[in-house]
């Protein structure tokens, strides 16, 4: 119980310091509304004002994993939707409905069989491999349920890893990685291997790694799925704050309908198709209420600190 309380308190403090950290580092706004310390090459700059992500009739067909079945699996069957800049969208649906496949295609980890994915107005699958890998590393931060950390590397090396593909000097990445770990309350684990950390700590390492390149779009595949309710809620609050306060677009797959209800919109997927969409909050309403909420969090955490 004590562990839970201290973990939760630590995360509230981390949340507040993360806000200060991101705010403090903001140096300029690019047309995408995304803060960046290193100028983006032209193919990564936004050509749209307020649409961060757009899918047009995306299909994904896999060969069946089972050689004996010899049939095709239609994982995505014509998915189309748009996500506005700064929106926090949840993707909900039964197991096997195509949620991870959808996220992998949006994150350019997998190519669609047909259809288009636009990020910042750019049809990403028209880009050559080098530019597509730029999109992956500079515009997108990916958070997986199973954390996907490399156990041979230290926590700090895991966080720094995606920065290798940016123009950031390695000394700067080192500093930023340590700052992120500090704000997430796990700087003391920087030299340890991920395998020695708790699930909540590993997920925070994965969040730090996803944020190292200041992504405009964060994709999270069941980021709270392996965490206890309280730690899961705090991890969720970190993602929500990124979207509410800093205009980061977040797309999160979740089975947790309570958390989904706190995002701006839920897209329900079934059998690779959009079944329905539920709007929970108007985006402008979210921005207004988040300013008040972050004030509350700041005052309650300073009360706790006293
Ligand atoms: N690499 C692959 N090869 C063959 N079939 C695949 C592959 N990846 C996914 N599938 C199939 O595509 C369908 C959608 O899978 P996906 O992993 O996207 O579902 P999901 O909604 O994320 O499920 P869960 O909630 O269990 O994570 C499933 O039938 C799955 O077996
Ligand atoms: Mg999945």
pLDDT at 43 over 80: no
Give the ligand at the shortest distance from the Cα of 95: 1
Supply the CATH number for residue 66's domain.
3.40.50.300
Ion ligand 2: residues, CB within 5 A, are 100
Which one is predicted more confidently, 146 or 68?
146
The arithmetic mean of pLDDT across residues 240-249, rounded, is 87
- As a whole number, the mean pLDDT across the chain is 82
Quote the domain boundaries for residue 200: 2-305
The arithmetic mean of pLDDT across residues 168-174, rounded, is 87
Which two tokens mark 76? Answer: 């995505």
**Model pLDDT, residue 285:** 62
**Model pLDDT, residue 251:** 98
Cβ atoms 120, 32 nearer than 8 A: yes
- How many domains does the chain fold into? 1
Region of poorest pLDDT, from 3-7, 50-54, 274-278: 3-7
CA dihedral 188, 190, 195, 200 (to 10 degrees): 60
The arithmetic mean of pLDDT across residues 117-128, rounded, is 94
Of all protein residues, the one whose alpha carbon is nearest to atom 28 of ligand 1 is: 96
DSSP state, residue 151: T
Q: pLDDT tens for residues 90-114?
A: 999 999 999 999 999 999 999 999 9
Q: Is 61 in the pocket of ligand 1 (CB under 6 A)?
A: no
CA distances from 302 to 7, 10, 155, 189, 264 (A): 16, 12, 29, 25, 28
């Amino acid at each position: 119980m004590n562990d839970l309380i201290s973990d939760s308190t630590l995360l509230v403090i981390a949340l507040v310091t993360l806000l200060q950290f991101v705010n403090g580092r903001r140096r300029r706004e690019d047309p995408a509304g995304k803060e960046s310390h290193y100028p983006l090459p032209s193919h990564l700059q936004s050509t749209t004002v307020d649409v961060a992500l757009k899918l047009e009739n995306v299909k994904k067909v896999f060969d069946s994993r089972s050689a004996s079945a010899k049939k095709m699996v239609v994982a995505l069957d014509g998915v189309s939707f748009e996500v506005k800049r700064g929106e926090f969208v949840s993707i909900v649906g039964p197991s096997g409905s195509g949620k991870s496949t959808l996220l992998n295609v949006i994150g350019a980890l997998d190519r669609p069989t047909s259809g288009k994915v636009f990020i910042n107005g750019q049809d990403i699958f028209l880009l050559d491999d080098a530019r597509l890998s730029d999109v992956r590393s500079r515009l997108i931060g990916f958070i997986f349920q199973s954390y996907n950390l490399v156990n041979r590397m230290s926590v700090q090396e895991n966080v720094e890893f995606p920065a290798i593909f940016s123009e950031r000097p390695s000394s700067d990445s080192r500093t930023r990685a340590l700052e992120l770990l500090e704000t997430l309350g796990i700087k003391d684990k920087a030299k340890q291997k991920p395998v020695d950390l708790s699930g909540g700590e590993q997920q925070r390492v994965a969040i730090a790694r996803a944020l190292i390149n200041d992504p405009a779009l964060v994709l999270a595949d069941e980021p709270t799925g392996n965490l206890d309710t309280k730690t899961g809620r705090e991890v969720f609050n970190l993602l929500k704050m990124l979207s509410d306060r800093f205009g980061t677009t977040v797309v999160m797959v979740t089975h947790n309908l309570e958390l989904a209800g706190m995002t701006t919109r839920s897209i329900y997927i079934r059998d690779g198709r959009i079944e329905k969409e539920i709007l929970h909050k108007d985006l402008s309403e979210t921005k207004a209420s988040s300013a008040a909420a972050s004030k509350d969090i700041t005052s309650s955490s300073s009360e706790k600190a006293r």
